[in-house]
Amino acid sequence: MLKEQLKAFSQQPTPFYAYDLSLLRQTLDTAKTEAGKYGYHVHYALKANANSPILAEILERGFGADCVSGNEVRRALEAGFAPEQIVFAGVGKSDAEINFALDANIFCFNSESVQELEVIQELAAAKGKFAQVALRINPNVDAYTHKHITTGLEENKFGINVWELEELLPQFAVWPNLKLIGLHFHIGSQITDLRAFENLCLRVNELQNWFEERELIFPHLNVGGGLGVDYRTPEENPIADFATYFGIFERLLDKRPGQVVHFELGRALVAPSGNLISKVLYMKHGQKTNFVILDAGMTELMRPALYQAYHKIENLTSDLPAKTYDVVGPICESTDCFSKAIELPETKRGDLVAIRTAGAYGEVMVSEYNLRDRVKAVYLS
Ligand code: PLP
């Protein structure tokens, strides 16, 4: 299938990203339908992929935007997202970024520390503006995912700790330019054990009760993103299980009357539709290992080097009997390795290879290390 779709790009120099827009559309439509059953608001997490053609598809379906930097807010606005559809999280928002978002009148700052709230108050007051804020609370819930993409444990830097809340609440009386409209949670990414979301719901319920005892009921509840995708067998599960995912929240979350529930999905919306296409530069036969040396490396797709992420690799050229290979990139780092001891059809110099499920946290992390050229993208419709 991918092989067929790529025929139109036979002259495209490698490496390049190839995005399957038809799979992207199907994924977005499924997510929209499933979220729509319960009136949930989905904000797309731009950090996963901020390419304009992808944002255009997302915008067309009425999703909002979840940003973690001033430039992401800028990109979302340029792409056409309405300011009142934009939320802004991030543990280290600079004054310039906060000012930019205040000027843009975004919907909500997901605030990650007491000091950040003080700064938003100060900057909003200086402009005579009012900022809507949600408290990003660190719920201390395990996401059962890789430790480098867990964010909701106390040892992680994200969010306000529960034990800080009692002292924090009275402060809002002296912060006239802040309007506290909700709570925000995000426990991690690539979550495939959905019990983590069940635990999150139970924790959110406890916290909502705690606030209610203090006569605070919020109009908005943002439960973040994190739904995982199938990296191992993408052809079997090309679309994440949105029905089960949203169903868990519907079943377990104690929504207050009129409360709007928001989600911030990134990976599950865009990962499966992206592939990194690369050419085999060299074969190298070691004593223990046969190396396939690609023209793409960690500079084009950093996830394997950054957190030992697995991506399925396919040889699009060869259908010879399989052999065992280590597939590596050209960068001068030993961690520049995509996969060790995998089976591929016998591979030769010049073969075309697809590194699958690379649509999220792939191209956005591209680096110029070794003064590499910026990788290009093509869109398969
Ligand atoms: N929201 C916040 C605050 C995040 O940090 C992230 C990413 O880690 C996301 C949403 C999106 O997560 P995912 O791509 O796993 O859905």
List the chain pLDDT tens, one digit each, 381 residues.
Answer: 788 889 889 899 999 999 999 999 999 999 999 999 999 999 999 999 999 999 999 999 999 999 999 999 999 999 999 999 999 999 999 999 999 999 999 999 999 999 999 999 999 999 999 999 999 998 887 766 676 666 666 667 778 988 889 999 999 999 999 999 999 999 999 999 999 999 999 999 999 999 999 999 999 999 999 999 999 999 999 999 999 999 999 999 999 999 999 999 999 999 999 999 999 999 999 888 899 999 999 999 999 999 999 999 999 999 999 999 999 999 999 999 999 999 999 999 999 999 999 999 999 999 999 999 999 999 998
Residue linked to tokens 């009148």: 105
Residue linked to tokens 């779709």: 5
Rg, the chain, Cα only: 22
State if residue 261 touches ligand 1 by the CB under 6 angstroms criterion: no
The CA–CA distances, whole Å, from 58 to 22, 26, 43, 135 equal: 13, 11, 9, 26
pLDDT at 153: 65
pLDDT at 151: 65
pLDDT at 101: 98
Q: How far is the centre of ligand 1, averaged over its atoms, from the C-alpha of 13 (Å)?
A: 32
Helix (H) or strand (E) holding 340: strand 337-345
State if residue 43 touches ligand 1 by the CB under 6 angstroms criterion: no
State if residue 89 touches ligand 1 by the CB under 6 angstroms criterion: yes
pLDDT at 373: 97
State if residue 226 touches ligand 1 by the CB under 6 angstroms criterion: yes
Task: Give the three-class secondary structure for 160.
Answer: strand
Contact yes or no for 41/312 (Cβ under 8 A): no
Helix (H) or strand (E) holding 67: strand 64-67
Using the atom order of ligand 1, give the atom closest to the CA of residue 225.
16
d(CA 280, CA 327): 9
Using the atom order of ligand 1, give the atom closest to the CA of residue 149.
8
pLDDT at 2: 87
The CA–CA distances, whole Å, from 335 to 9, 306, 322, 327 equal: 30, 8, 25, 11
Q: Where are the alpha helices (DSSP H) in 90-149?
A: 95-104, 114-127
State if residue 186 touches ligand 1 by the CB under 6 angstroms criterion: yes
Domains within the chain, CATH numbers bracketed: 21-271 (3.20.20.10), 272-380 (2.40.37.10)
pLDDT at 77: 98
Q: What are the DSSP E strand ranges found in 223-297? A: 260-265, 274-285, 290-294
- Please compute, for residue 306, the number of CA atoms within 13 A of its CA located in the half-sphere on the CB side: 15
State if residue 266 touches ligand 1 by the CB under 6 angstroms criterion: yes
Q: Which two tokens stand for residue 110?
A: 């997901």
Range 146-152 contact pairs with CB under 8 angstroms and sequence separation of 24 or more: 146/190, 146/307, 146/308, 146/309, 148/306, 148/307, 149/188, 149/189, 149/190, 149/307, 150/187, 150/188, 151/186, 151/187, 151/188, 151/189, 152/185, 152/186, 152/187, 152/188, 152/200
Find residue 133's DSSP bridge partners: 109, 180
Q: How far is the centre of ligand 1, averaged over its atoms, from the C-alpha of 57 (Å)?
A: 19
Q: Are strands 16-20 and 178-184 parallel, antiparallel or unpaired?
A: unpaired
Of 45, 91, 90, residue with least CA distance to 64: 45
